[in-house]
Amino acid sequence: MLLVAPLVLYMIVLYALPVVTMLLRSFNDPTWSLVHYRELMDDSVFFNTLVNTLYTAFIVTLGTLVLGYPVAVALVRAKKWAPLIIVIILLPFWTSVLVRSYAWMVLLGRHGLINEALMAAGLIDRPLRILNTALAVYIGMIHILLPYMILPIANALRQIDPSLARAASGLGSPPWRTFLQVTLPLSIPGVAAGGLLVFVLSLGFYITPAMLGGPRDITLSMLIANQVDQLNWAYAACLSGVLLATALVIIAACRRLPGIGNAFKMSAR
């Protein structure tokens, strides 16, 4: 226990206390009341922003799953190329989120590399408007969060006994049926863990939506930053409390679902 004490003290002083102080400010500024939370009930901007944040998180989670599952399968099956695949997966972690978002601005701009390549190939007559759209936000966030989906799925796939797939093949099952009835169900713990991790991280994303999105693509974290810029600390704390509560409710709900809850128990073993 003494070995863990410095870490616990560090988390309490530098994490728990600031969060608690922030939450208290949403109640006691200027006096103890729920006035700031009552104001949210009549704030259409807040509701639209919350819906957009949840929708963006869902699309990003779905996108990372569609792109990440095949990569996880390749990582597990291609033993020879596994080190190279791992390097490619982890490469984004070696670069700042700000730098990666700016790189996508260069690629997706009206005179960026993608539009220039499409025009050079004769596929379009004029530049497409990709930057400052919801699509640009999805692309940037999927690129950044993809490793968080790949690694849990790959870990779940590694725990599947290869003899199960061989037995299914020996009984005459085609590869696609073996995948749907054997591999996919047994990899659900990794899918559930990766999906929840990506979804929760997407809820609090700020830099990428702020740089790649447009005026209609405001997320809850951007709204909080706007309130901080206006020195409206109490309302910003209130919004932060809602964001934190939303993430906690989603985590608790997922763990209570029969199938997904069991998946998390299996992945924790």
Distance separating alpha carbons of residues 201 and 264, to the nearest angstrom: 17
Distance separating alpha carbons of residues 213 and 135, to the nearest angstrom: 8
Query: What confidence score (pLDDT) does residue 265 get?
Result: 54
**Token reading at 235:** 């309302």
Tell me the pLDDT tens digit for each residue of 191-210. Answer: 998 999 999 999 999 999 99
Report the SS3 class of residue 41. helix
- pTM listed for this prediction: 0.88
Fold (CATH) for 33-267: MetI-like fold (1.10.3720)
3-state percent breakdown (helix, strand, coil) of the chain, nearest 5: 80, 0, 20
With residue 192 as reference, give the H or E element that holds it: helix 188-203
Distance separating alpha carbons of residues 92 and 151, to the nearest angstrom: 13
Count Cβ atoms below 10 Å from residue 71 Cβ, excluding itself. 18
Tell me the pLDDT tens digit for each residue of 145-170. Answer: 999 999 999 999 998 888 888 888 88
| Residue 183 contacts residue 158 (beta carbons within 8 Å) | no
Confidence of residue 32 (pLDDT cuts 50, 70, 90): confident
**Token reading at 22:** 């922030």
Tell me the pLDDT tens digit for each residue of 37-48. Answer: 888 888 888 999
Query: What confidence score (pLDDT) does residue 133 get?
Result: 93
